Structure 1
């Protein structure tokens, strides 16, 4: 009889996005049973509205963890409203399904460049990027303030995250923005996925924000 590890089966919400697809691929390479969910239902995923708690509960049933990697819409009003709705739907749904482990893909605007000053609040932050980034901050705060009963981790990427090489190397921090010796804050989507699946398996950094970068 084969004993299933606690991280062997997870529901990937937002599995077709730039980051979500890499997360799902990395988990699959390690032998996870990944059920991909996306609003569009493309690329072999299940079409579903993650803001509907009943739907999330039905899809999450029988899984060991849920990964929430939904990208916010670029439209200001839609981003501000829809991403928190997804967060509430997922939190309610995982509870109904009896799933306690939740990994959330955070936004690059969440880490702090100085005490109490987040990236999104820095002078000169691009105006057109503010709505979706602020929506990701709201999602993080929603989880932080309402999920004490869950083993959640929010992994925030750095200022620059693009498709690239998978080296398996990365650093983790807490609220402070990580940068390299030249002041660059970056990581590839592939190495971000390595960090996320590592934490999903280890479960060492729960109920906290984790910043990931080179």
Structure 2
């Protein structure tokens, strides 16, 4: 499979690239710098901007799947407007490239903890992450209106960080997954395993999945 990955130098993007390469897939790693992380040696590094529809179209052409692992701005400003605009451009570019499969690294804040309550709206949700979580939620809401692309949105557990690749985890849908002790977590390595599994198997279309221990 030929995969073009936007946001390839981030914590999650690097691990998705490494996991895909380990399975024999071709990865075009797109970032503003164009560099290839050491962990993803073997990928083809390309400089590009996911907010530039024309650049997305040119970079995605000829690939089997587009992966977006881009993150909202973290400069203290409200990321809602620039990040939703970025996804509008990204979608426009994917369509122009003629690629049908789009896999998105999403957030956990939009996962349900009750019928009418999302994690981001629960007491104690860290204020510092709230705008980013609401921005990811807005992107998912917009994606849910897209019916001309074979998209999947992959939410991590409430806590995701570098760790061990165990290959053992649970998959869910729109609800937050927690373990017997009430913890919701996943390593970035196991998130990448689940993400690449989904790319290979195409089990989910036009929906969100989540992965946690």
TM-score, normalised to structure 2's length?
0.93
Q: Distance in 1 between matches of 2:90 and 2:116?
A: 28
Tell me, yes or no, if the aligned pair for 1:11 and 1:59 is still in contact at 8 Å: yes
Q: Distance in 1 between matches of 2:4 and 2:201?
A: 17
- How many residues get paired? 206
Instruction: Give the superposed CA RMSD.
Output: 1.2
Gap runs ≥5 in structure 1: 1-7
Tell me, yes or no, if the aligned pair for 1:15 and 1:69 is still in contact at 8 Å: yes
Residue 14 of structure 1 is matched in structure 2 by 7
Residue 50 of structure 1 is matched in structure 2 by 50
Residue 73 of structure 1 is matched in structure 2 by 73
Gap runs ≥5 in structure 2: 38-44
Write the mapping of 1:15-164 to structure 2, written as runs, cut at 5 A.
15-43=8-36, 45-145=45-145, 147-164=146-163
Large movers: runs of 4+ above 6 Å: none
- Give the deviation of 1:41 after TM superposition: 2.5
In structure 2, the residue corresponding to 1:74 is in which secondary structure?
A: coil
- Give the deviation of 1:126 after TM superposition: 1.5
- Give the deviation of 1:116 after TM superposition: 2.0
Change (3 A) 1:78 1:51: farther
Q: Distance in 1 between matches of 2:180 and 2:134?
A: 28
Tell me, yes or no, if the aligned pair for 2:4 and 2:59 is still in contact at 8 Å: yes
- Give the deviation of 1:77 after TM superposition: 3.5
